[in-house]
């Protein structure tokens, strides 16, 4: 009998021990939460400031939602979708991005009947069976903004401006690469032109690029294969195919960006891979004066004016959206040395001696927590010395010490960690007293 061969990468087979993570997946540990919280806080605040409302979308959707919108010929759908049949036989997929879902939700909840544009934001994990490397994972988080129900170019510019503010607040210098794809027809005509241009050089193309030529010719423009940079120089540029309306639209976006002092570069070869884009498309990258993680984009977006009608919604619903990759933002911040305290600030540390003190300690701890005083403990430790060391390590200003005697007397010892001075106080009054002392 012929031996069964597995088409799995040997690296992958080796790593399928159950006590290890799946390749391309990560745990985000407590030490990293401060930086994650900071990024999410800025994203949430800016979204709200610009009247975007939060939407929480499911991770699983019908598979054909992604196939029909992102496009069957794209890598995301063809190679990277985590898709399976569920127990009921439905073909489902884990979302590789959220724009298609947003469009679905907009139609499904009749948001067309609300004042337009409807502005939505999300923050959540996406899944793509990508080749893992620095800044590229199979589960990654995106902050996304989508404005549906208007094709006004001011929305394009405002979206870019919000993202620019986001990076500025986080301490990163970025540049937007920007282009216009025109209408669906423009794109179709342009693709034909592109194919006939690259066909002349078919022999020079790599195998990968030959495939792109037949399957997804626009991707040729992103190609990093050898020799492509030279071939691209004389390739037709989509800007020459733009219809007048799209040209006007694009000019306005640029004018608004100039006005708002956003750093951008026109990139005639930026096309973005997905089928649903039209008119404005952009990507955001680190400016050259910031250390670059890899040459990867931190985020990207564009218009998808035809997506809603394509999904069965009403005509003439223009829309624009963008998504920022959170892991890449954090990586860039770390590379630039933008760090955050690893632990929360602790003002008070509770120390106990003996079982009765521990039991009473649970209640004392609760009183402080309710009064919003930041307090920590080490109930698992026995010796006072070890507990005071822990208090010191966490930077507590005050240590509370409760022993057998204090429990009986209903008192507690308050120790100033700097001077070492101690005072015995009534346990019922300790919260107020400590609060006052901390305010000094
Ligand atoms: P896209 O929808 O492909 O334009 O992705 C938008 C942003 O999400 C990118 O610019 C990245 O920052 C981030 N991103 C996309 N794919 C990955 C991935 N596999 N791992 C980490 N971040 C990703």
Give tens-digit pLDDT for 242-292. 999 999 999 999 999 999 999 999 999 898 877 788 999 999 999 976 655
23, burial (CB in 10 Å: exposed 0-12, middle 13-18, buried 19+):
middle
Ligand 1 centroid to Cα of residue 97, in Å, is 9
In 3D, which of 113, 94, 112 has the Cα closest to residue 103? 112
- Nearest CA owner, ligand 1 atom 17: 136
Q: Phi/psi class of residue 371: alpha, beta or left (left: φ > 0; alpha: ψ in -120 to 50)?
A: alpha
Longest dimension (CA), the chain: 94
Ligand 1 centroid to Cα of residue 136, in Å, is 7
Q: What is the pLDDT of residue 292?
A: 53
Boundaries of every domain in the chain: 30-182+242-336, 348-438
CA-299 nearest atom, ligand 1: 10
Report whether residue 75 contacts ligand 1, using a CB cutoff of 6 Å: no
- On whether the CB atoms of residues 174 and 299 are closer than 8 A, the answer is no
For a substitution probing ligand 1, which of 142, 159, 303 has the most ligand atoms within 8 Å of its CB? Answer: 142
Buried b (16+ CB within 10 A) or exposed e, 125-148: ebbbbbeeeebbbbbbbbbbbbbb
Residue 199 has pLDDT above 90, yes or no: yes
Q: pLDDT tens for residues 154-178?
A: 999 999 999 999 999 999 999 999 9
Report the share of the chain in percent with pLDDT over 70.
Answer: 94
Q: What is the pLDDT of residue 224?
A: 82
Structure tokens at 251: 């000019």
Q: What is the pLDDT of residue 306?
A: 87
434 vs 317: CA distance, rounded Å: 59
139 vs 159: CA distance, rounded Å: 25
Residue 41 has pLDDT above 50, yes or no: yes
Helix, strand, or coil (residue 32): helix
Q: What is the pLDDT of residue 236?
A: 93
Residue 313 has pLDDT above 90, yes or no: no
180 vs 269: CA distance, rounded Å: 10
Report whether residue 95 contacts ligand 1, using a CB cutoff of 6 Å: no
When comparing pLDDT for 215 and 314, which is higher? 215
298 vs 332: CA distance, rounded Å: 9
Q: What is the mean pLDDT of residues 19-32?
A: 93
- Cα–Cα–Cα angle for 116, 118, 124, nearest 5°? 170
Q: pLDDT tens for residues 108-156?
A: 999 999 999 999 999 999 999 999 998 899 999 999 999 999 999 999 9
Ligand 1 centroid to Cα of residue 166, in Å, is 17
96 vs 76: CA distance, rounded Å: 7
159 vs 145: CA distance, rounded Å: 8
In 3D, which of 337, 341, 359 has the Cα closest to residue 350? 359
348-438 classified as CATH 3.40.50.800: yes
Helix, strand, or coil (residue 47): helix
- On whether the CB atoms of residues 235 and 197 are closer than 8 A, the answer is yes
- Nearest CA owner, ligand 1 atom 12: 325
- On whether the CB atoms of residues 421 and 399 are closer than 8 A, the answer is no
Report whether residue 137 contacts ligand 1, using a CB cutoff of 6 Å: yes
Helix, strand, or coil (residue 348): strand
Average pLDDT, the chain: 91
Q: What is the mean pLDDT of residues 39-63?
A: 98
**CATH superfamily membership of 30-182+242-336:** Bira Bifunctional Protein; Domain 2 (3.30.930.10)
Ligand 1 centroid to Cα of residue 299, in Å, is 6
| Residue with the two structure tokens 């607040």 | 169
Ligand 1 centroid to Cα of residue 300, in Å, is 8
- On whether the CB atoms of residues 283 and 299 are closer than 8 A, the answer is yes
CA-99 nearest atom, ligand 1: 2
Report whether residue 415 contacts ligand 1, using a CB cutoff of 6 Å: no
Ligand 1 centroid to Cα of residue 137, in Å, is 9
| Residue with the two structure tokens 């080749």 | 131
- On whether the CB atoms of residues 216 and 73 are closer than 8 A, the answer is yes
CA-76 nearest atom, ligand 1: 3
Supply the Cα-derived Rg of the chain in whole angstroms.
Answer: 28
Ligand 1 centroid to Cα of residue 320, in Å, is 17
Report whether residue 130 contacts ligand 1, using a CB cutoff of 6 Å: yes
Residue 294 has pLDDT above 70, yes or no: no
| Residue with the two structure tokens 């919108």 | 69
| For the ranges 136-150, 186-200, 326-340, the one whose mean pLDDT is highest | 136-150
Residue 139's φ and ψ, nearest 5 degrees, are -120, 125
Report whether residue 300 contacts ligand 1, using a CB cutoff of 6 Å: yes
Residue 1 has pLDDT above 50, yes or no: no
Ligand 1 centroid to Cα of residue 227, in Å, is 26
pTM: 0.87
Q: What is the mean pLDDT of residues 55-81?
A: 91
Residue 23's φ and ψ, nearest 5 degrees, are -60, 135
Report whether residue 117 contacts ligand 1, using a CB cutoff of 6 Å: no
Report the share of the chain in percent with pLDDT over 90.
Answer: 73
For a substitution probing ligand 1, which of 328, 331, 333 has the most ligand atoms within 8 Å of its CB? Answer: 328
When comparing pLDDT for 73 and 11, which is higher? 73
**CA atoms within 13 A of residue 347's CA, in its CB half-sphere:** 15
Residues with Cβ within 8 Å of 83's Cβ and at least 6 positions away in sequence, in order, are 63, 91, 92, 93, 94
Alpha-carbon distances, residue 246 vs 259, 262, 321 (angstroms): 20, 21, 17
CA-323 nearest atom, ligand 1: 6
Strand pairing of 398-402 and 348-352? parallel
Q: What is the mean pLDDT of residues 89-112?
A: 96
Peptide bond into 117 cis (omega under 30): yes
Report whether residue 128 contacts ligand 1, using a CB cutoff of 6 Å: yes
88 vs 93: CA distance, rounded Å: 14
- pLDDT class for 11, splitting at 50, 70, 90? low
């Amino acid at each position: 009998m012929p031996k069964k061969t597995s088409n799995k990468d040997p690296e992958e087979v080796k790593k399928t021990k159950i006590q290890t993570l799946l390749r391309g997946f990560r745990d985000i540990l407590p030490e990293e939460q401060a930086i994650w919280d900071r990024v999410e806080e800025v994203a949430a605040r800016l979204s709200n400031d610009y009247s975007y409302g939060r939407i929480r979308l499911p991770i699983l959707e019908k598979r054909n939602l992604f196939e029909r919108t992102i496009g069957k010929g794209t890598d995301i759908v063809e190679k990277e979708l985590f898709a399976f049949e569920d127990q009921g036989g439905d073909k489902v997929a884990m979302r590789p991005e959220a724009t298609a879902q947003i469009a679905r939700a907009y139609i499904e909840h009749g948001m067309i009947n609300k004042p337009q544009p409807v502005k939505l934001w999300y923050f959540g994990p996406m899944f793509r069976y990508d080749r893992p490397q620095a800044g590229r994972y199979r589960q990654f988080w995106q902050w996304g903004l989508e404005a549906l129900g208007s094709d006004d170019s001011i929305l394009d510019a405002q979206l870019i401006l919000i993202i620019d503010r986001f990076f500025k607040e986080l301490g990163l210098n970025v540049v937007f690469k920007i282009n216009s794809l025109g209408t669906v027809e423009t794109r179709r005509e342009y693709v034909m032109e592109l194919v006939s241009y690259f066909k002349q050089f078919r022999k020079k193309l790599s195998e990968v690029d030959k495939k792109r030529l037949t399957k997804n010719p626009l991707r040729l423009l992103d190609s990093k294969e050898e020799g492509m940079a030279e071939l691209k120089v004389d390739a037709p540029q989509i800007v020459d195919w733009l219809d007048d309306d799209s040209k006007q639209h694009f000019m306005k976006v640029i004018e608004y960006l100039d006005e708002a002092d956003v750093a951008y570069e026109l990139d005639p070869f930026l096309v973005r891979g997905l089928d649903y884009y039209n008119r404005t498309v952009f990507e955001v990258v680190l400016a050259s004066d910031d250390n670059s993680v890899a040459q990867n984009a931190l985020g990207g977006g564009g218009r998808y004016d035809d997506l809603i009608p394509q999904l069965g919604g009403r005509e003439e619903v223009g829309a624009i959206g963008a998504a920022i990759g959170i892991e890449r933002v954090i990586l860039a911040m770390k590379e630039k040395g933008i760090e955050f305290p690893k632990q929360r600030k602790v003002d008070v540390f509770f120390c106990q001696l003996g079982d009765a003190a521990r039991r009473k300690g649970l209640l004392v701890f609760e009183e402080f927590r309710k009064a919003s005083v930041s307090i920590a403990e080490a109930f698992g430790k026995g010796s006072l010395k070890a507990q005071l060391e822990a208090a010191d390590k966490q930077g507590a200003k005050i240590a509370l010490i409760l022993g057998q005697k204090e429990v009986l007397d209903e008192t507690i010892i308050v120790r100033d960690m700097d001077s070492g001075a101690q005072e015995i106080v009534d346990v019922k009054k300790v919260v107020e007293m400590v609060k006052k002392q901390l305010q000094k």
